[in-house]
Structure 1
Amino acid sequence: MIVGKLLHGHSKHSDGGGTIDYPRGYDLLAEVGFLGRRRSVFTRLAALSGAGKGHQIVDVGCGTGYLTRMLAPLVGREGRVTGLDPSPAMIGHARRRSPDNCSYQVGEGQAMPFPDASFDIVVSSLAVHHIPVAARDTAVREMFRVLRPGGRLLIADYQPPANPLAARLAAVLAGPAMRPSMPELLAGLVPAAGLHVESTGTVGAVLYYVNAVRPLDALS
C-alpha cells in the first residue's frame, strides 16, 4: 500500500496495478512498517499456510522472497517453494538470497506460467492490491487452477486501520488499489473462484488473511 506507492518503478495500469522495483528499499520500509515485527508476522503466515515436508508451494507476488524463505525449512529438501513476481528486480534479489529448495520466475498472478494442479499450496502476501483491479478475479481463478484438488490457499493483505482517521489517510494514499478493502474484496473473489473458505482472521495490526481449500474434484 503506502510502501508500494513510494517504491513503484513503473505501472502499465491506472487502476492499482504496477511493480515494485527497489527491493532493498522495500525490505527496509517493510521492517519499519511492521514496527520490528515483520519476522514474527510472516512466521505466523507460514504456519497458517499448512506447509509441511515435501509440499510444492507457489508464492504469488513473492517480492523479495521473504515469505518463500520462511516456508523453505517447513517443506524441507523434499519440497520446493516457487516465487512468482512481475518485477525482474525483485526476482533477482530473491534469487541471490534463496536456499536450494526455492526457485523464482518473473510472471503475473493473472497469467501464471504453471500447469494445472501443480501445487499443494498457493500463498500470496501483500500482493493482491498490486494486481490491476480488473484482473484480480482472474488472478484468484489462476490460484485455483494451479492448486491440486484438496490443496490450500492462503491470501494475506492489508486491512483498513481501525482508527477512522488513519483509515481515511490510508485510503487517500493508496487510491484505487485498496478499494474495496481487502476483507470485502476477498470475501467475494475467493468463493467465486471455486474455493471453500475455511477461516479468516488477522495477523499483527495490518494483515487480514483468508485460508481456503480447493475441493476434491468428486465433491466440487
Structure 2
Amino acid sequence: MNFSEKLYKIGEASSLLGVHPNTIRRWEREGKIKIVRIGGGHRRIPASEITRLMRKEAQISPVSSETDYEKGLRAFLDFVFTHCKNDHELVKRAIFVRDGYRCRICGSSEDLALKEKDPGLGIIEGNLMTICRKCSEFKEVSEKKEILEEKIEEQEKITRKKILNDLSPSGIAQRVAFGEILSAALVLNKFSLKELVVQSKSPEPLVRTFCERMEALGYLQKTESGYEIKIKVVE
C-alpha cells in the first residue's frame, strides 16, 4: 500500500461503492477487499481498493441475448474506458451513454449532469454517475448529514486512560478502584447506584464519588432509575 494514499472509513467506502457497510465487512472476511488497520485498531480502505472495485462495478458484462447494437455499445465503452481514459471529455460523454442518459438514482431523463462520487479519485468510469439536479441536491444533503454523524460519533469516543485522568484520583489506589468501577459501569451501561456497587464490589461511598464526578464531566447521565453511560469508550 502507498502510505501517502487516502484512507476511507467503512461508512465512506460503502457510500462510494453504493453498498451497505455490512457488505464491506463481509467482503473483508471473504478476502474480496483489502482493509488496513490504523491506530486503535480502526479499519480503513485505501483509495486504490475503492478505485479497483469501482472499475470492476463499471464493467459491462456480455449477455447471451444482447443485440448487435448492445455488443457494439459495450465494445465502444470498453475501448473508451481502457484506451481513452485520459481523454476526460470523451470519458464523460461515454458515462452518459453507459447510463442511457438517465439519472442512476430515479431514472429521470431531465436536467442531467455528471457527479463524481469522490472528487479525490478523479475522472474514472467507476467514480462518475449520471444524476439529475433534484437527486444531486438530495444526495449532497444526505452525504453532509452522514459526515456530520460520523464526526459526532468520533468525538463521543474516549479512552479509559483519559476518563481516569479526568476523574482526578487522589492516588494510585483510588485510580485502580475507579478503573474497576468504570469497567463495571461499562458492562452495565444503565444502572442504579446499588447495582454498580454490587457489580464492581466496591464501597458505596467510593462508587457514589465516582458517579458524581462522571456526571460532572458529562460522561454519565442521570436517569429516573440511576445512571446511563453517555460516551463510547475505547482502549
Normalised-by-shorter TM-score class: under 0.3
Bigger CA radius of gyration? 2
Of Structure 1 and Structure 2, the greater helix share is in: 2
What TM-score, normalized by structure 1, do the two folds share? Answer: 0.25
Of Structure 1 and Structure 2, the greater strand share is in: 1
Which protein, 1 or 2, shows the higher relative CO under an 8 Å CA cutoff with sep ≥ 6? 1
